[in-house]
Amino acid sequence: MKSSLKYCCVLLGFVLLVAGCGGEPEIPTGQVKGTVSYDGAPVTEGVISFYSSELGVGASADLTEEGLYSITDSLKTGTYAVTILPPPEAPPQDAIPVSTKKEYKNIPLKYRDPKKSELTVDISEGDNSFDVNMTN
């Protein structure tokens, strides 16, 4: 009987020790969605990217034909730099590569560089909305 009591005490102590050592506190997270436009018209092709150098995390989403985006992956709360990029080019399908580099005048160059875009967003816990209306 003493052995069983001793075993229960050791087991209880272990459970309490593990429960008390939860590691790092969980950082609150949020999601973000919104629209991207250029001079009031939806940007129908491209990628919006969020990056926090302080947190070392980021996420991106493709734009829809209506200029909408949604980042459903949880982002740690904090401040993020925002960039808007043209869609990636598809690799050539033929043996002879043909350059069909499309210009995206509705995504000015300054919005493609996180140091020049001047776009930032503070992600808070839960759902966030962030609309971008680019201009020249």
> pLDDT (tens digit, 0 to 9) for every residue of the chain, 136 residues total?
444 434 433 344 444 444 445 556 788 999 999 999 999 999 999 999 999 999 999 999 999 999 999 998 899 999 999 999 999 877 666 666 555 567 899 999 999 999 899 999 999 999 999 999 999 8
What is the three-class DSSP state of 101? coil
Which stretches of the chain are DSSP H helices? 2-20
Measured between alpha carbons, how far is 89 from 32 in angstroms, rounded to an integer?
A: 26
Q: Is-contact 84 117, C-beta < 8 A? A: yes
pTM above 0.85, yes or no: no
How far apart are alpha carbons 101 and 92 in whole angstroms? 11
Integer angstrom CA distances of residue 127 from 4, 88, 91: 51, 28, 36
Query: What per-residue confidence (pLDDT) applies to 87?
Result: 92
